[in-house]
Amino acid sequence: MQSRLRVQGHPIQPMLVTFPYGLFVCAVIFDSADVVGGPVFLGEVGYWTAVAALVTAALATVAGLVDLWDVPADDTRHTAINFNVVNAGMAGLFLLSSLVRADATNRGATPALLAVEVLALAVGGVGVQLGARLMRQFEAIRPEVTGVEVVRGLDAPRIEVVRPGP
């Protein structure tokens, strides 16, 4: 499968997905430090980190939906849909936590909100497993690439090497 959204021959969505995952993990770390008695500003940092993660999750979701049009209607499509739904569920839980904190004075986390965020990360762990399965399924469909094509990408023109005969 060739993704519609590519950068130098590489699909964009797998690259974009790493940002919300990393930012959500950082938000939970900051919020955990805030809940156990760290400096008050850590709750604010955790809140804004979660907001940044939600923005990047929205971008990754758009890229995933564009790529979904090219996925063949088989088990790969089913996995891709599940992957996007699970990621949306994780983002939804973080959105819920962020909306509750939006009107607070210091935007700090509470133990209950931290529990929701940890649950969201658990849901995200399922998304990581689905993403890995999806990449294996895409690799099974993709034509074998060797030599210079690996470095240049699939969309690059092929270069044939002509060796002189004996």
pLDDT of 28: 95
Please indicate, yes or no, if residue 164 is contained in any of the structural domains.
no
Q: What is the CATH number of the domain that holds 29?
A: 1.20.120
**pLDDT tens per residue, range 17-40:** 889 999 999 999 999 999 998 888
Please indicate, yes or no, if residue 165 is contained in any of the structural domains.
no
**pLDDT tens per residue, range 3-14:** 555 555 556 677
- Predicted model pTM: 0.74
- When divided into structural domains, the chain yields a total of 1
Of the candidates 34, 24, 14, the one whose C-alpha atom is nearest the C-alpha of residue 116 is: 24
From residue 150, alpha-carbon distances to 9, 25, 62, 147, 157 in Å are 10, 32, 27, 6, 12
Please indicate, yes or no, if residue 163 is contained in any of the structural domains.
no
Residue 103 belongs to domain spanning? 6-152
Please indicate, yes or no, if residue 16 is contained in any of the structural domains.
yes
